[in-house]
Amino acid sequence: MNILILGYGKMGKIIGEIAESRGHSIAAKINIDNRSALDTVDTDSIDVAIEFSQPEAAVENIKWAINKGIPVVSGTTGWLDQKPSIDQLTVDKNTAFFYASNYSIGVNIFFKVNQYLAKLMGDQQDYQVSMEEVHHTEKKDAPSGTAITLAEGILQNISSLKGWKLSEEMTEGEQVIPITAKRIDPAPGTHIIRYQSPIDDIEITHTAHSRQGFALGAVLVAEWIKDKKGVLSMDDFLSF
């Protein structure tokens, strides 16, 4: 495949290395400093775009590719308030758009474990749920997209909870999930779900040891999405 990388930071570089090691070619590596290079890219030769940029650039990057009929695999978080318009554009242009807050296979299994645990805890009134996430200091959005996905999985299964908030923004008595977001180098990503009661605590944790799992997952999805259409997710890819 011929892959366009939109966002050539640490993740983009690892994605490029993994893609080339799997026999793919890189059409261009676009970042904030050379975005004008998109004007000269041969879009007809591009099979898929992998977009891992920044929240402020993601929407324009994704729109550019979709308008060119290029399938997009995106992992940028912090812009999802505009996702409905991207989804509609994907349908209008008859191409494919794949978004995941996290491309690690392990994390996506963790999402399912989290949902199942929340279902079990739904009627357990003595337990208070909370979340902690730890990332490197270069991560700009907080909480992480992965933490938001985890929170959504809990909210789908515990009706007494009305949403989530960063811990420092909460007021006493709110029926929401408190999320503590820490930024500590060189942590690539840790997510902890806790259910605490006066008698005992239940805790599940996912800890990433490097960005390799995220990058490999994105490349595997890019290989899978090449000839597909529509708005797709990890549930489609993993057939959950």
Clarify whether residues 197 and 218 are in a common domain.
no
Instruction: Give 115's contacts (C-beta < 8 A, 6+ positions apart).
Output: 153, 154, 156, 157
Clarify whether residues 75 and 26 are in a common domain.
yes
Clarify whether residues 120 and 193 are in a common domain.
yes
Examine the pLDDT at 141 and tell me if it is beyond 90: no
Domain that holds residue 18: 2-103+212-238
Clarify whether residues 18 and 84 are in a common domain.
yes
Residues marked active site are found at 135, 139
Model confidence at 240, in pLDDT bands (50, 70, 90)? low
Three-state DSSP class for 201? strand
CATH of the domain at 98: 3.40.50.720
Question: What pLDDT is stored for residue 239 in this prediction?
Answer: 80
Closest CA to 133 of 98, 170, 174, 166: 166
Clarify whether residues 84 and 7 are in a common domain.
yes
Q: How many domains does the chain have?
A: 2
Residue 117's alpha-carbon distances to 19, 125, 175, 194, 204, in angstroms, are 35, 14, 19, 11, 9
Tokens of 178: 């408190």
Question: What pLDDT is stored for residue 93 in this prediction?
Answer: 97
Clarify whether residues 115 and 95 are in a common domain.
no
What b/e sequence results for 214-233 when a residue is b if at least 16 CB atoms lie within 10 Å of its CB, and e otherwise? bbbbbbbbbbebeeeeebbe
Clarify whether residues 123 and 71 are in a common domain.
no
Q: Percent of the chain, pLDDT > 90?
A: 85
Model confidence at 173, in pLDDT bands (50, 70, 90)? confident
Tokens of 212: 């390799």
Clarify whether residues 228 and 191 are in a common domain.
no
Question: What pLDDT is stored for residue 78 in this prediction?
Answer: 87
Clarify whether residues 35 and 154 are in a common domain.
no
Examine the pLDDT at 87 and tell me if it is beyond 60: yes
Clarify whether residues 112 and 200 are in a common domain.
yes
- Of 40 and 239, the structure prediction assigns the larger pLDDT to 40
The whole-chain average pLDDT of the chain stands at 94
- What average pLDDT does this structure show over 116-126? 96
What b/e sequence results for 11-42 when a residue is b if at least 16 CB atoms lie within 10 Å of its CB, and e otherwise? bbebbbebbeeeebebbbbbbeeeeeebeebe
Examine the pLDDT at 140 and tell me if it is beyond 80: no
CB 50 within 8 A of CB 103: no
Clarify whether residues 138 and 177 are in a common domain.
yes
- What average pLDDT does this structure show over 185-201? 95
- What average pLDDT does this structure show over 32-43? 91
The span from the CA of 179 to the CA of 182, in Å, is 10
CATH of the domain at 193: 3.30.360.10
Single pTM value for the model: 0.81
- What average pLDDT does this structure show over 18-30? 97
Residue 109's alpha-carbon distances to 181, 216, 229, in angstroms, are 22, 16, 25
Clarify whether residues 26 and 12 are in a common domain.
yes
The span from the CA of 3 to the CA of 23, in Å, is 11
